[in-house]
């Protein structure tokens, strides 16, 4: 899995930094991708990456502040022009469906694919659970209802040990697939074969946490617990906690402290105030690293691999 930071700014775009949007590129074989927030001009940023709109599978909006979703209608519309015909799932706070329906109605926009919109309740937990991932949403502490998302990849069965199957006299066919999927199989002679007896060590699923705008809070810690990658806003530098909290934000030091307390493996900070240039980011990294070592301050179009 790869994560692309399409926009890393707070509030409004700047010459060196666009507003918030993050893409999670899913593993093979599908190689589809999910989008977290869609600030203004997100579709322009997508054009600067290998990502294709027709491969977009789901969109998760953290909250209804313009720098996090003003780019959504144009992006969804352009997906039709880019050959997108498969369904897209859209998740976000209450009011998101009304916004999209109104914009599309006034502009006469017609999509060539099915758009399924799910508005998240305040006490929501798991919002998506398919054969690959579980996604949990949790309410954070911001000026408007704002959610963080915890994406958990399901554990993957180990590699099928073909030589053991051959020793059991099992020829290649449907049984191989059943055992690979973790099922227990009864052979025609009555012998029971368990998946764990003919597969290697299973692969632990990865955990990625993407938090929306937030002050430090208990829900952020819960969503980020033991994450392989935590994405946390760091609107202000350390020492500016009072100003950050006034607007429902966090500082670099607070993002690092959340990562440390949650025992995350890596932290990527984003959503930087326009007062900081890209040249300032190394200083912001340094002050966060006092509390958490594995930290990166993202720039626009920064890509990181999420390894097992």
pLDDT single digits (tens) 31-49: 799 999 999 999 999 999 9
> Do 238 and 176 share a structural domain?
no
- Report the CATH number that the domain containing residue 20 is assigned in CATH: 3.60.15.10
> Do 234 and 179 share a structural domain?
no
Catalytic residue among 37, 67, 228, 300: 67
Binding residues: 63, 65, 67-68, 142, 213, 271
> Do 22 and 113 share a structural domain?
yes
pLDDT > 90: percent of the chain: 81
Is the per-residue pLDDT at 175 higher than 90? no
DSSP letter, residue 229: E
> Do 126 and 248 share a structural domain?
yes
pLDDT in tens, 204-230: 899 999 999 999 999 999 999 999 999
> Do 32 and 179 share a structural domain?
no
> Do 207 and 258 share a structural domain?
yes
* Mean pLDDT, rounded, of the chain: 94
> Do 216 and 192 share a structural domain?
no
Rounded to an integer, what distance in angstroms lies between the CA atom of residue 24 and that of residue 258?
22
State residue 103 phi and psi, 5-degree precision.
-60, -45
User: Whole-angstrom distance between the N-terminal and C-terminal Cα of the chain?
Assistant: 9
Task: Locate 8 and state its tokens.
Answer: 């890393």
Active site residue 130: no
Kindly give, in sequence order, each residue whose CB lies less than 8 Å from that of residue 235, ignoring residues fewer than 6 positions away. 10, 213, 244, 247, 249, 250, 251, 271, 272, 273
Q: What pLDDT score does 160 carry?
A: 80
> Do 270 and 134 share a structural domain?
yes
Domain that holds residue 177: 162-197
Binding residues for Zn(2+): 63, 65, 67-68, 142, 213, 271
Element (H, E) at 128: strand 126-129
Confidence of residue 188 (pLDDT cuts 50, 70, 90): confident
Confidence of residue 25 (pLDDT cuts 50, 70, 90): very high
pLDDT in tens, 109-141: 999 999 999 999 988 899 999 989 999 999 999
* Residue where one domain finishes, among candidates 170, 197, 224: 197
> Do 215 and 81 share a structural domain?
yes
Q: What is the per-residue burial (b if ≥16 Cβ within 10 Å, else e) of 176-207?
A: beebbeeeebeeeeeeebebeebbeeeeebbb
Residue 140: CB atoms within 10 Å = 25
Q: What pLDDT score does 39 carry?
A: 98
> Do 88 and 126 share a structural domain?
yes
Is the per-residue pLDDT at 157 higher than 80? no
> Do 177 and 40 share a structural domain?
no
Q: Are strands 56-60 and 33-36 parallel, antiparallel or unpaired?
A: parallel
> Do 193 and 53 share a structural domain?
no
Rounded to an integer, what distance in angstroms lies between the CA atom of residue 130 and that of residue 201?
23
Residue 129: CB atoms within 10 Å = 12
- Provide the domain count of the chain: 2
Report whether 267 contacts 208 (CB < 8 A): no
């Amino acid at each position: 899995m790869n994560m692309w930071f399409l926009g890393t700014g707070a509030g409004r775009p700047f010459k060196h930094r666009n507003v918030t949007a993050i893409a999670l590129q899913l593993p093979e074989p599908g190689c589809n991708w999910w989008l977290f927030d869609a600030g203004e001009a997100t579709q322009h940023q997508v054009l600067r990456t290998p990502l294709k709109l027709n491969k977009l599978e789901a969109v998760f909006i953290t909250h209804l502040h313009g720098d996090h979703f003003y780019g959504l209608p144009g992006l969804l519309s352009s997906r039709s022009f880019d050959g997108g015909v498969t369904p897209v799932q859209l998740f976000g706070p209450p009011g998101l469906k009304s916004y999209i329906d109104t914009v599309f109605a006034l502009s006469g926009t017609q999509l060539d694919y099915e758009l399924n919109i799910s508005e998240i309740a305040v006490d929501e937990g798991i919002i998506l659970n398919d054969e690959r991932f579980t996604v949990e949403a949790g309410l954070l502490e911001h000026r408007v209802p704002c959610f963080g998302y915890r994406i958990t990849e399901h554990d993957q069965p180990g590699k099928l040990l073909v030589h053991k199957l051959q020793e059991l006299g099992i020829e290649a066919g449907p049984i191989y697939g059943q055992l690979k999927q973790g099922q227990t199989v009864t052979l025609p002679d009555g012998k029971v074969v368990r998946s764990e007896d003919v597969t290697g060590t299973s692969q632990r699923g990865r955990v990625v946490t993407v938090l929306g705008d937030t002050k430090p809070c208990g829900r952020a810690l819960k969503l980020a617990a033991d994450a392989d990658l935590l994405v946390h806003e760091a609107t202000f530098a350390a020492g500016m906690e009072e100003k950050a909290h006034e607007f429902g934000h966090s500082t670099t030091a607070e993002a690092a402290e959340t990562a440390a307390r949650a025992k995350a493996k890596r932290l990527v900070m984003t959503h930087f105030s326009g007062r900081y240039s890209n040249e300032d980011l190394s200083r912001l990294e340094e002050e966060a690293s006092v509390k958490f070592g594995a930290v990166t301050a993202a720039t626009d179009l920064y890509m990181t691999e999420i390894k097992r």
